[in-house]
Amino acid sequence: MVYKDNFSNDQEGEYEILFTQKAVPIFQNKLYHSADEAKQVEKSEVMIVQSKKSGFIYNKNFNPGLMKYDKNYNNEQSNSGIFQDHLDNVLKQLLMFGIRDKNVVEIGCGKGVFFEKMKALGIHCTGFDPAYEGSDPNIIKDYFSEKYNQIHADVIIMRHTLEHIEYPFSFLHTIAKANNYRGKIFIEVPTFDWINNRQAFWDIFYEHCNYFTEESLSLMFEDAITGSFFGRQYIYLWGDLCKLKESIFKSNKNIKKIENLFEEKFAYYEKILSKKSSIAIWGAGAKGSTFLNLLDKQATKVDYIIDINNEKQNKYLAGTAHKIFSPSILDIHPVEYIFVMNENYLQEIQKIIANKSIKLHIL
């Protein structure tokens, strides 16, 4: 049986356009060694729509054939103590769900940071990720697919992976089939509710082709536990693979319609950037990349980007080619304002710049 994502195949007239981004880099988390290389990256248009049939929100223009994850891809946030605390909270929640003595498979394990945390507790783990750069023989440097049809997992973990998958419901069935529709699954994704409530247009990326809420995430299962993490920016689901539905069609009578998305906040930041004379962005991740590619394409309004991840420092942001520095740049080239791309890191940033006369603006 083929399980179709009936929210991803809507025809014209079956969806509402919520927001578009024109000519933005297809990868927000790739960094480059030269400004010229950064400016020449492939770009595309994002068109975020809401299905009238199911209420699901997704990028109608997404092309999975463009997505080639390689060594230039860096979405690692674990240099931050705040994010390490988040990972510890996730692990604590999983231990409460009972993974300690289980055979665990992590799909989309990235650089292996969370994977190593599980291993340190003696949990038997296997990982999948084409962007993995380490040497752990238990991590397979490949996308998970049908060819891994006997994974024999008690628990499957997908953290910040499902939002990158064009047909997430079909992909979940691929996983479930490979595991004989047995075992548990844990999914962690960003939540569209936080994006919508904050009008956070800088949290819409080409890389993310799907945008979930607790309701839409749980809609794919007959029964599941959901919750939130990280200041409610991320949500999770814990469910049984045997309870994955055969269809996710939903009556449109109950769809929460979204209107006038981001217009007010976008205009506000266009205005505020035009008035400030000396600005740095703190955070060279997808939020910072999106913000700058929409509001400072020519790199004339923001002086530079700051990031504590030394793997990102002295590289250039895709599209705009803003250069990324360590916080020490503030001693050499001070600025009047720092725009903080994620409020969760505010206290950490305040400690680093405690002796400097810089105003922090939180998005």
Give the pair of three-digit tokens for residue 219: 């809609």
Nearest Cα residue to 54 out of 211, 240, 237: 211
* Any domain includes 56: yes
Average pLDDT estimate for 315-325: 95
Q: Is 24 helix (H, G, I), strand (E, B) or coil?
A: strand
| Domain identity same for 104 and 232 | yes
Amino acid present at 248: I
The residue range of the domain holding 34 is 15-62
3-state secondary structure 117-152: HHHHCCCEEEEECCCCCCCCCCEECCCCCCCCCCCC
Instruction: Report pLDDT for 241.
Output: 95
| Domain identity same for 171 and 275 | no
Adjacency order of strands within the sheet including 43-51: 15-25, 43-51, 57-59, 210-211
Average pLDDT estimate for 81-91: 87
| Domain identity same for 229 and 271 | no
Average pLDDT estimate for 334-354: 89
Average pLDDT estimate for 134-158: 87
**Residues whose CB is less than 8 angstroms from the CB of residue 114 and which lie 6 or more positions away in sequence, other chains included:** 87, 90, 91, 106, 157, 159
How many Cα atoms occupy the beta-carbon half-sphere of 145 within 13 Å?
5
Instruction: Report pLDDT for 151.
Output: 80
CATH assignment of the domain containing 173: 3.40.50.150
CA distance 295 to 304: 14
Give the pair of three-digit tokens for residue 152: 């024999």
User: What are the distances in angstroms from CA 167 to CA 8, 129, 142?
Assistant: 7, 18, 18
The better pLDDT of the pair 28, 235 is held by 235
Lowest mean pLDDT of 183-187, 188-192, 246-250, name the range. Answer: 246-250
H-state helical runs in the chain: 35-39, 81-97, 113-120, 168-178, 192-198, 214-218, 263-275, 286-295, 329-332, 346-352
Give the pair of three-digit tokens for residue 259: 């209107």
| Domain identity same for 219 and 288 | no
Asked if the model's pLDDT at residue 184 lies above 50, the reply is: yes
The better pLDDT of the pair 74, 181 is held by 181
| Average pLDDT score over the chain | 87
Instruction: Report pLDDT for 305.
Output: 95
CATH assignment of the domain containing 339: 3.40.50.720
Nearest Cα residue to 285 out of 36, 112, 83: 83
User: Among the three residues 243, 278, 294, which one is the final residue of a domain in this structure?
Assistant: 243
Asked if the model's pLDDT at residue 1 lies above 50, the reply is: no
Region at 160 (left for phi over 0; alpha for psi -120 to 50; beta for the rest): left
Instruction: Report pLDDT for 144.
Output: 82
* Any domain includes 8: no
| Domain identity same for 174 and 125 | yes
* Any domain includes 255: no
Tokens 């400072």 — which residue?
296
Asked if the model's pLDDT at residue 157 lies above 90, the reply is: yes
**Residues whose CB is less than 8 angstroms from the CB of residue 293 and which lie 6 or more positions away in sequence, other chains included:** 21, 24, 25, 28, 318, 319, 320
| Domain identity same for 107 and 221 | yes
How many Cα atoms occupy the beta-carbon half-sphere of 273 within 13 Å?
21
Asked if the model's pLDDT at residue 25 lies above 70, the reply is: yes
CA distance 196 to 34: 35
Instruction: Report pLDDT for 84.
Output: 86
pLDDT in tens, 223-261: 999 999 888 889 999 999 999 998 876 544 455 656 557
pLDDT exceeding 70 applies to what percent of the chain?
91
Instruction: Report pLDDT for 342.
Output: 84
pLDDT in tens, 289-302: 999 999 999 999 99
In 3-state terms the chain splits into helix, strand, coil percentages (rounded to 5) of 30, 25, 45
